[in-house]
A = this chain, B = another copy of it.
Amino acid sequence: MKGVRLGVAGIGLIGGSIALRARRLGARITGFDADPAALREARARGAVDDVAADLASLARSSDVLVIALPVDATVKALQTLAPPDRDVDAWPSLIVDVASVKTAVGAAAGDVPHFVATHPLAGRERGGIGAADAALFAGRTWAYIPPGDAALETRVRAFIAAMEAEAVAVTAADHDAIVALTSHLPQALSVILGAALAEAVHEDPRVADLCGPGMLSMLRLARSPESVWRPIVAENAAPIASRLRSFAGQLVATAERLERGDVSRLMSFFGDARRVAGALEERFAALTRS
């Protein structure tokens, strides 16, 4: 990315990590963030060279523009980037977002040239520029929605490769249905389990005495901030609802068998579950080691 002018809107964990990695490869980074403190910290950490006053001027001064905002803010940013009078010659050759829901983003980006919707599968417990890391994406997968333009697709794949991630092409609808299972369902289960436990403890304090480390591990995700999840849930409500219903169906079918004294259905899940959990753990352990 030597000599590339990279604009980053939103200097948090993801935007900051992209900036750090690109700068290491020789890009010149201009940052924009609604929070002046984040921009100051980004400068102090060496993540940005310059600061833009607003998104429109950031777009005008960038060869590649990254919108690294929550999904609702991403939708708004794309709407402001689609004015009727833009000059496409002075436009970035690639604009990507990194939000975790893609259908809403694709709909909002209809009139934005050179835009590709993407989603890096990387994150940390702690957010913000302070947790940013040039190696955050190394070995991770990075989904993108094929833009239907071979040159643009080559550019986005090169960008993802520069981040050391593995590009995975997926339609927006498939993406949102899959992350509803792989990310939003686990989050919902943890939060709903936590709320059920809280209610039971309120009714009988001995419930808290009889909690072990297993319950604690299922509530780790429940500590994620509401502010991060509200826009995700709002933008992906239908696929999440569908996963919740189908999971509830599994629970009821399992309960019916248990009520007849038949443990075979629940026990039959252990083998597959252990294998898939082991494969995931190995994958993440390999990333942590590398």
Which residues of A does B touch, CB under 8 Å? Answer: 121-123, 141, 143, 166, 168, 170, 174-175, 178-179, 181-183, 185-201, 204, 206-223, 226, 229-230, 233-234, 237-238, 240-242, 244-252, 254-256, 258-259, 261, 263, 266-281, 283-284
Contacts and interface: CB of A to CB of B under 8 A. Distances in A.
Contacts of A244: 251-252, 254-255, 258
A233 B263 contact: yes
Given A258-B238, A258-B241, A210 B274 contact: no
B272 A198 contact: yes
Given A188-B254, A234-B263, A274-B194, A218 B221 contact: yes
A73 to B, nearest CB: 17
Contacts of A143: 209-210
B186 A218 contact: yes
Contacts of A195: 250, 268-269, 272-273
A216 B121 CA distance: 13
Given A219-B273, A263-B234, A210 B247 contact: no
Given A210-B141, A255-B244, A258-B240, A276 B194 contact: yes
B280 A123 contact: no
A191 B141 contact: no
A interface majority secondary structure: helix
Nearest to A233: B263
Contacts of A255: 240-242, 244-245, 248
A216 B280 contact: yes
A75 to B, nearest CB: 15
Contacts of A207: 178, 181-182
Nearest to A226: B270
A197 B180 CA distance: 11
Contacts of A192: 247, 250-251, 254, 266, 269, 273
17 contacts: A121-B211, A123-B212, A123-B213, A182-B207, A183-B215, A186-B218, A188-B266, A190-B273, A191-B266, A194-B273, A201-B276, A219-B276, A240-B255, A241-B254, A241-B259, A244-B254, A244-B255
